[in-house]
Structure 1
Amino acid sequence: MLTEQILSNAQVVTADRVFNGTVVLRNGLIVEVDEGRSRLPQAQDLHGDYLLPGLVELHTDNLEKHMTPRPGVDWPSTSAVLSHDAQIIAAGITTVFDALSIGDVNPKGNRMKKLPGMLEAIASASIAGLTRAEHRLHLRCELCHPDTLSVYRDLVEHPLVQLVSVMDHSPGQRQFALESKYREYYMGKYHLNTEQMDEFIVFQMANSREFSDRYRRAIAEDCKARGLSLASHDDATLAHVEESASYGMTIAEFPTTMEAARGSHRLGMGVLMGAPNVVRGGSHSGNVAAADLAKEGLLDILSSDYYPASLLQAAFILATQDNGCELPQAVGMVSRAPAHAAGLDDRGEIRIGLRADLIQAKNQDGLPVIQQVWRQAKRVF
């Protein structure tokens, strides 16, 4: 039996314009997009709110906060996944790539031990139909960890894995070109004293020399063979960017400088920046501001990173700034562009024939407030 919904009197945000209109959903797909209000009695009146495509999130470690809500506290995994999922869908994110970190840069951490349980909890909750967003997996590979390659090979076979990124968080690399910044960040975050920090730096630099180049090459070759999307992370120089492009990477996550962003864009890599960077007005670690990249036409994709609700808010903020970016283009950075970058061409836009992943949002003094969310035409929020 055909199931049909009519969403009317909405400010419909398509790929290139915003208009008051009506969108018809049938069997999980968008089947009509028209200007004007529907006169049919069964049409749902959205009262002039925005109707937007469901958001696509490529890089969030939000699940980790639910798995370990406090230091030393391990929360039951299925409960943690469902709490994370509820927060994701409430932010309007209908497709999420949960980032699982392979290789722990925290000398006191136990991320590696939790990986199999996290993966299984996501998979089992999804299979059981308990999650409201569609969950896929993003393997974040810390190249300077001795066990990264073997763990990657164990996890990459999972059918939910669709995106991989490679990174080297050791002193002198990418994000931490200055050892002083590295010391400041890790001593503050992990509460290390000077002696512990000295030992950790020696350990990380030795591991980087031994493993990083070899692991980067092996993972890149494996991703190419499997047809997985591959991302760089924290590239800072043109040399970094050219190396990433030579390995077939198509997404540049969080380039730290204008030079790296410009080079990534020129070489056809989608430049991904943090939505919190936009909302806060700049990088918390002193790197290039996402808004500055947008002004230069170098920003392609936004990620909520550590704060899910930042994603849609950042799009609305960008649309108000002097950067030549109107709302349809800004919304595309959190829907169409990330979907395409991950090889998902069936979603990310309000267009006939695509999945009916949609958001109703009220504009409250510039803040988009989520009212309803549909995933494949099923209301999930």
Structure 2
Amino acid sequence: MTDNSDTILARLMGLHPKVIDLTLDRLERLLATLDHPEAHIPPAIHIAGTNGKGSTQAMIRAGLEAMGKSVHAYTSPHLARFHERIRLAGTLISEPALSALLDECEAANSGQPITFFEITTAAAFLAFSRTPADYTLLEVGLGGRLDATNVIAAPKLCIITPVSIDHTQFLGETLPEIAGEKAGIIKRGVPVIVGPQEEDALEVIEARAARLGAPLHIYGQHWQVWEERGRLIFQDETGLLDLPLPNLPGPYQILNAGAAIAALRLLGADEAACEAAVTRAEWPARMQRLRRGPLVFAAGAAELWLDGGHNPAGGIAVAETLSRMAPKPTHLICGMLNTKDVTGYMRPLTAQAESLTAVAIPGEPNTLPAEETEAAARKAGFARTAQAETVDAAIRAITARQPQARILICGSLYLAGQILRENG
């Protein structure tokens, strides 16, 4: 009898001493043993970038499904359950299917060193190769060039969302270095949708595309997107679209929607599919309003929001979203990992929030302790800071002072996932 997926996943965590060790050698060995499932998946759309990958993928999926297409999707990290990472022809993978695939990959690996992400990516490729679909959406886990998803030899389309500074310990200290890693997904002759980029990042992307003869579709050159009178306007060489604003909140979703629409247009989507992309996408923990569960009950009359952004660009995006919301006293509850640019994330938020309460992320080995998060908040410019043992305690302390407040839980996808699990 096969163990359940949680038991197998726990074992797989022990197959390599490091969580992240960027190389493709171990995965290529395992995929060869499994008879190369990655060569037999439906046409792949490969998405790299620092921010916006998940939202862009969700919009493309909504658009393709509106065209009647069946779509596999691979994303990471998961928020509440691992099963969220693998979507087969539109449906999250079942527990029996996941545990059987993990069991098969574990047996094929024969106890050899391999990271958790590598072996679970192999399981995803196995699943995608055995279930018919029209497209496979692959979100890069980290970087691009040496990411486990980059074993795909000839994707149908590549997308690079905005590149910014993050994961410097793995991808390089400078924007051009990081852009070089992201541009590693570009393949010979394969079209690339390029979202808004800093000039020195764009130069790196353009140089690699030129070497490989990959046609570029660049924001600001080949396609444009903007908000006008409460509508989303998209324009490319094919013409102009006048669409509703994205249902995913935040001004940055306009740009994510633009990349998604540019991709869909290359895939032959009509206006109805493009409209579905912006109105039907679902992507939790991106400025998500929580409306039920014990934390909402604890918040009482206060608004409760959740966001998983965790780098400086994510902080800017959240600040812009807050700046466009109806004025209301706003308080942050923040937990972050010790691998992040914490003050860089917090600095843009100081103008939008009255206070920041720091929490540790329970059960997360790389959490920043609450006292260090609070110290970073003061350094970033927050005049009013505090610490709390739990998110629940932080909510109750804030609402005791301001019952009608807006409260945003933020700073980490790991914290966001825990909130979604515990809050139902």
Superposed pair shares fold, TM > 0.5: no
TM-score, normalised to structure 2, is 0.29
Kindly indicate which of the two structures has a greater share of residues assigned to strand. Answer: 1
User: Normalized against structure 1, the TM-score is what?
Assistant: 0.32
Higher helix share: 2
